[in-house]
Amino acid sequence: MDRTPAFYRELLGVAALMDGSSAIPAIYRVEDALADGRASAWMLQRLREHPPTAAMIRERYLRAEPVPLDHLRTLDEGTLGRAIARHVEDNGLVAGYYEAVDVRDDLTYVLARVRECHDVWHAVLGFAPTFVGETGQKAFEMAQLNRPIAGVVVATAILRYAVGNPDQQAALVAAVAEGHAMGLRAGPLLAERWEDAWDEPLASVRERLNIPIEGARHSGWDDPTGIHPAAVVGGAGRGGARPRRSDPSAGTIEAKADQA
């Protein structure tokens, strides 16, 4: 168990994000450090105010297994499931990469569900798994979830581009602005049972959730940095473990994987 004081773990995580050498593991380091803070409590308070989302939290519904790529590949073109399969395969990702979480309370459930649906959200929103695209999606999470780590990532990304990539800062800020606006307009993604909608047309899903039919305009597909999340951690794709349930009396969450 990491006994490092939360404040210092936050600083270490932000430093890693700025350095870029271990950005994805750093995201979970910072999120763990924020778990007991006011920002996480505020996130839960707001999520519980929305009845469908509150119902998901009470039920603690999880897929608890990787996205079934073999099945999704067989679905018709234009469906949500086929779009997810293309997103994973075209970008060299690994289904079920997300860090393990002991689901023992409302907060750990929310973290587990958001993490296991990360690439589903990519397919639904249209943001690419690049530095710009990931930052745009985190801006969406700021608006929809009030997720603390999302704000940290967005702020760090803007600072990093202001210092190291000033000529590309406008593209990053455009993705952030679009992602945040989409999050304010869209229906709550955390309330969705995506597993029941694999064969639903992606256009229908987006229309139902008030997301632009064409997806994000500033998606990050033309990200000039060329940074892919897997490249940040030095791997081909993402590896890791799935969420798991535990007895409510179990100990605190600690990082179980080194990649996201």
Q: Would 254 be classed as within a structural domain?
A: no
Q: Would 259 be classed as within a structural domain?
A: no
Full residue range of the structural domain in which residue 161 is found: 6-245
Q: How many domains does the chain have?
A: 1
Q: Would 260 be classed as within a structural domain?
A: no
Q: What is the largest CA-CA distance in the chain?
A: 51
Q: Would 173 be classed as within a structural domain?
A: yes
pLDDT at 95: 67
pLDDT digits (tens, 9 = 90+) for 176-226: 999 999 999 999 999 999 999 999 999 999 999 999 999 999 998 877 665
Using 70 as the pLDDT threshold, list the residues of the chain that sit under it.
1-26, 64, 95-98, 224-260
Phi/psi at 244 (5° precision): -140, 155
pLDDT at 229: 42
Which of 33, 9, 103, 67 lies closest to 75, judged by CA?
67
Query: Is 183:139 a contact under the CB 8 Å cutoff?
Result: yes
Query: Is 148:29 a contact under the CB 8 Å cutoff?
Result: no
